[in-house]
Amino acid sequence: KYGDMVLNLAKSLHTITPSERDMVEETVVHIVQSNNGETLKELSKRTGNVLELDYLALINNLEENAVLKDGQWVKVGIVVKYQ
């Protein structure tokens, strides 16, 4: 029943080419410091965070509308090229 599908899948597997690798991106966690009075939305814009604000608040144990202190450590998600 699945023989042709499995065979086609196997035929599609190959070593990734340099141009294919250049197209791959991943989201990694960076830990950054906030500025005094900054919001998560402002920090996201400044740092290039790609995570949704509700998720960003969740992983940092904060409310979405939290006002951050100077030097407060915050986890953000940054998109980088796959290495």
pLDDT tens digit sequence for 32-49? 999 999 999 999 999 999
- Write down the pTM of the prediction: 0.78
Contact 83, 28 (CB under 8 A): no
Q: How confident is the model at residue 83 (pLDDT cuts 50, 70, 90)?
A: confident
CA distances from 3 to 6, 9, 11, 36 (A): 5, 10, 12, 61
Collapsed DSSP state (helix, strand, coil) of residue 40: helix
Residues 6+ apart with CB under 8 A from 16: 24
Contact 73, 29 (CB under 8 A): no
